[in-house]
Structure 1
Amino acid sequence: MRRHRYAKIVATVGPATNTPDMLKALFLAGVDTFRLNFSHGVQADHAKVHAAIRALEAEVGRPIGILQDLQGPKIRVGTLRDGRLDLVAGERIRFVLEGAEGDRRAIPLHHSEIFAAVVPGQDLLIDDGRVRVRVTGVENAAIDAEVVTAGVITNRKGVNLPGTLLDLSPLTEKDRADLAFGLDLGVDWVALSFVQTPSDVLEARGLIGDRAGIMSKIEKPQALDRIDDIIRLSDAVMVARGDLGVEIPHEDVPGRQKELIRACRLAVKPVVVATQMLDSMVAAPAPTRAEASDVATAIYDGADAVMLSAESATGRYPIEAVAMMDRIIRSVEGHKLYRSIVAASEPGEEETPPHAVATATAVLADAIQARAIVAYTTSGTTAARVARKRPAVPILALTPSRSTSRRLSLLWGTHSVHSDDVDSYEEMTSEAARHARDEGFAKANDMIVAAAGIPFHTIGNTNNIRVIQV
């Protein structure tokens, strides 16, 4: 089952879509990777969804990726006396570390890390920035503040601290339990929330190892200060525009999105653009024009994948949302300006032999109008290096690793196939031709281009190109 597009679709599973029939319908509509959001639901429910996806994978005969998204630390106000506070601009309020009065002079904020980090003049954003207060004084167990933007605070609303680096692990006890559970299930990707520094990724790597790919969610401004190191240590990146858009000005988000996509392409790491892409389709059967343009922009920017959240998890039109995203992607990729725009945003080349060989493979395939590029890959690196060039020729990735084939369902332009390993040059040639025919990429006498590492079974050593007539 071949997708006739390059960019991939990630869809969140939730109450609206957690049955085997709905999962199959979503896959047939265009989903390449399913996201399990561990901020909601219980482990047993996620296990059922995981099993259903693996059963679907066996039924359709195609690798399907599963992304476990960890909740991460959530900073929230506590319980208020009357359930809410109506704040007006200019009034003075106080947050307290201990106690639970829940009034204007004792708003519970049971997070010691905040009290240790904030200084006068910094802002706290409450309820996704709907209420903004400015710190005027800090004590060991109290923070005085002035209301800048009026609004209502209700119980357990979230708090953001733009520009403040918190001494806080991205992995809570809940996350660690969920992570162990997910790894035992066999998830392909783990999305790491609240990444602030490279050490956060290293902490997760120590727990995950190579059992799953680490996808760092960029939702904190502090991460942008060390973004190159964070990308280098990660296996993929998610541009989590929801929280990021709360902590940086809205007008800066589009530019940051472009920067992150470009940096990930340079580093040969898949990048996913997420949050509110078709948000109106939670309740309506069609998106707004602005939302369609938003998805299109991510595709023109060269993103590997775009993601649906509430649209597919709790929305009334999950299948329609996936189908709409699929149509938008295919329309953009078929537009006469698409190739020139993507080529213009290509990052500079990394001057290493494997990257040069992969680039030459893509250029050669385009030049001879090959039907496909066949990338032999164990870890996925060879396919990723070719995809970095964003060739006009589809990539057929052959791998002996089932986990790699599933992870590659997130990679731009790549159709992954779990196949037997090859041991010789002749076998490489014949297997490339056979799979290109079987997967519908080529027919007799068509040309394909194969990229591999010689000697075989060597990870990350892309050093050989072969033109093959099927």
Structure 2
Amino acid sequence: MMRRTKIIATVGPACSTSEQITALANAGADVLRINCSHQSTQQISELIDRIRSVAPSVAILVDIQGPKHRYIGSEQMLHSGALITFALSDIGLSTTTDAREQGIEVGHRVLLNDGRLEVVIEKVGRDSIEVRVVQGGALKPGKGVNMPDTEVTDDLLTAKDRSDIAVARAKAVEVVALSFVQKPQDIEQVRELVGSNVMVVAKIERPQALERISEICAVSDGVMAARGDLGVELPFEVVPAAQHKIARTALTQGVISICATEMLESMTTSTRPTRAEVADVTGAVRDGFDAVMLSGETAVGIDPPHAVEVMARICEAAEKEVVLPNLFADTNPMRAGVTASASALAKRMSADVLLSLTFTGHSALLLAACRPTAPIVAITPSEVVARQMRLVWGLYPVVAERASDLDEAIASALTAARKQQLIGPGNTVVICASRSNPRSNADTIWLHTER
């Protein structure tokens, strides 16, 4: 059985050598993530080169840190009901702009130490805020600061972020993920910096982004349910519903979706996941996410390749019990006309494989968005496109030259799929390609029985 749900593994101290990166790829990682929060710009550049040299077919995702706010004041004990004054600089906000101009208002909550402490703003000064402590406790420097009610107007990108994006563009990585997105304009800003050949994924970790999920999907190549900060800024009991909303909105609009954060967290120190973690990954598969992500489990875990293997086993088992609805075709009948028909034909014929001939990957993406019951073998002449498709649900990219004559192109595509053992004797194959122009959307469907 071909696994449909893709796996992203984070590269870190536990898996950053050439041998360890190769082991991750061999274990089943489709995409390798570089977390810019823990790497200098120079280290990011070197790591990209290392990944390319030992795992050239794997996609690279560069996760931009963004303006993570942290408490940098002195250590203190917050007592419930007490009034406290914070300078804006204490909570990582700009002091050159008036607090009100940064969107800060009376009644807004400030969450500290990953939501363990909570205060509410009662007075807003130019460069300080007075807050009432709702949930007290010890506050230490370096702890995270979240402001779920405030649409922060700080620059989305730090100087380091811009340097990291420049490296990602120069090294032609496949994906850049953007942290703390609040609105569609944030994605458009980064797309101008990264160029048109790199996919941009919006990390949904703020309530403001969740409220605008449809608009953000419309300008993004994908979205990530980043449940770490999202689980701080939202009440924890509504995070599963938010996760489901992110996945289904992405499915409806035909963009990539990723589920992230603490999916197999116990495997950072254990060789076996908890039953709750298995259920969590299974839930993400049932939600229809394109990919599930490992963070600390591989970056600093005791056995990164084993964590990838376990994730793959859970996904494969979950997929046996899941048939996803074709929300994309129902919502986009014109865009999905041919690919939805190919998907429906494959289901009626109990086809073994869908074969997509694609230059840019666009037709294959449309086919995957229909969530067909058969795996999709996507034939492309571009190694860059093939790597990008490693992130997409159900797609198995194969790099092969494309003949100008369509009959020859189909014959060579079938040959390429055979060489990779993706089709075999007796297989029913639904072929989807463009007869009018090799670079246009698919417009024709063929039915092939492999002899």
Normalising by the residue count of structure 2, what TM-score does the alignment of the two structures yield? 0.95
Structure-2 change in CA distance of 1:207 and 1:169 (3 Å): same
Structure-2 change in CA distance of 1:251 and 1:114 (3 Å): farther
Q: Secondary structure at the match of 2:336?
A: helix
- Residues of 2 paired with 1:109 and 1:375: CA distance? 49
8 Å CA contact 1:355, 1:385 repeated in 2: yes
Q: Secondary structure at the match of 1:467?
A: strand
Give the aligned partner of residue 313 of structure 1.
Answer: 299
CA shift at 1:196, angstroms?
A: 0.3
Give the aligned partner of residue 194 of structure 1.
Answer: 180
Structure-2 change in CA distance of 1:109 and 1:381 (3 Å): closer
Q: Secondary structure at the match of 1:462?
A: coil
Q: Secondary structure at the match of 2:55?
A: helix
Q: Secondary structure at the match of 2:278?
A: helix
AA in 1 matched with 2:82:
E
After TM superposition, list the pairs within 5 Å mapping 1:393-412 onto structure 2: 393-412=374-393
After TM superposition, list the pairs within 5 Å mapping 1:45-444 onto structure 2: 45-58=43-56, 63-80=57-74, 84-97=75-88, 107=90, 109-112=92-95, 115-116=99-100, 117-335=103-321, 338-339=322-323, 342-343=324-325, 346=327, 349-444=330-425
Of 4, 9, 25, 1:27 maps to: 25
- Residues of 1 paired with 2:297 and 2:427: CA distance? 41
Normalising by the residue count of structure 1, what TM-score does the alignment of the two structures yield? 0.91
CA shift at 1:265, angstroms?
A: 1.0
Give the aligned partner of residue 444 of structure 2.
Answer: 464
AA in 2 matched with 1:370:
A
8 Å CA contact 2:174, 2:384 repeated in 1: yes
Q: Which runs of 5+ in 1 are unaligned?
A: 99-106
Q: Which runs of 5+ in 2 are unaligned?
A: none
8 Å CA contact 1:17, 1:312 repeated in 2: yes
Q: Which 4+ stretches in 1 moved above 3 angstroms?
A: 107-110, 345-348, 350-354
- Residues of 2 paired with 1:415 and 1:97: CA distance? 49
Q: Secondary structure at the match of 1:387?
A: helix
AA in 2 matched with 1:12:
T
1:20-62 CA-partner distances (Å, limit 9, x unpaired): 111111111110000001111223332332222222235xxxx
Q: How many residues in Structure 1 have an aligned counterpart in Structure 2?
A: 447
8 Å CA contact 2:10, 2:295 repeated in 1: yes
CA shift at 1:127, angstroms?
A: 1.3
Give the aligned partner of residue 101 of structure 1.
Answer: none
Q: Secondary structure at the match of 2:129?
A: strand
- Residues of 2 paired with 1:242 and 1:20: CA distance? 29
- Residues of 2 paired with 1:256 and 1:413: CA distance? 24
Structure-2 change in CA distance of 1:398 and 1:120 (3 Å): same
- Residues of 2 paired with 1:463 and 1:273: CA distance? 32
8 Å CA contact 1:354, 1:462 repeated in 2: no
- Residues of 2 paired with 1:384 and 1:348: CA distance? 12
Structure-2 change in CA distance of 1:426 and 1:357 (3 Å): same
Q: What's the % identity of the aligned pairs?
A: 36
1:148-190 CA-partner distances (Å, limit 9, x unpaired): 1111111122211112111123221111011001211221100
AA in 1 matched with 2:83:
R
CA shift at 1:452, angstroms?
A: 1.3
8 Å CA contact 1:13, 1:35 repeated in 2: yes
- Residues of 1 paired with 2:238 and 2:391: CA distance? 26
Structure-2 change in CA distance of 1:351 and 1:243 (3 Å): closer
CA shift at 1:370, angstroms?
A: 2.3
8 Å CA contact 2:7, 2:31 repeated in 1: yes
Give the aligned partner of residue 36 of structure 2.
Answer: 38
Structure-2 change in CA distance of 1:114 and 1:375 (3 Å): farther
- Residues of 2 paired with 1:110 and 1:193: CA distance? 17
Aligned-pair Cα RMSD in Å: 1.8
1:250-279 CA-partner distances (Å, limit 9, x unpaired): 111111111111111111111000001011
- Residues of 1 paired with 2:181 and 2:264: CA distance? 25
CA shift at 1:371, angstroms?
A: 2.4
8 Å CA contact 2:61, 2:176 repeated in 1: yes
- Residues of 2 paired with 1:173 and 1:211: CA distance? 22
CA shift at 1:217, angstroms?
A: 0.4
CA shift at 1:126, angstroms?
A: 0.8
- Residues of 1 paired with 2:15 and 2:107: CA distance? 45
Give the aligned partner of residue 104 of structure 1.
Answer: none
CA shift at 1:4, angstroms?
A: 2.5
Structure-2 change in CA distance of 1:438 and 1:166 (3 Å): same
AA in 1 matched with 2:355:
V
Task: Say yes or no: does 1:18 pair with 2:12.
Answer: no
AA in 1 matched with 2:58:
I
AA in 1 matched with 2:24:
L
Structure-2 change in CA distance of 1:37 and 1:372 (3 Å): same
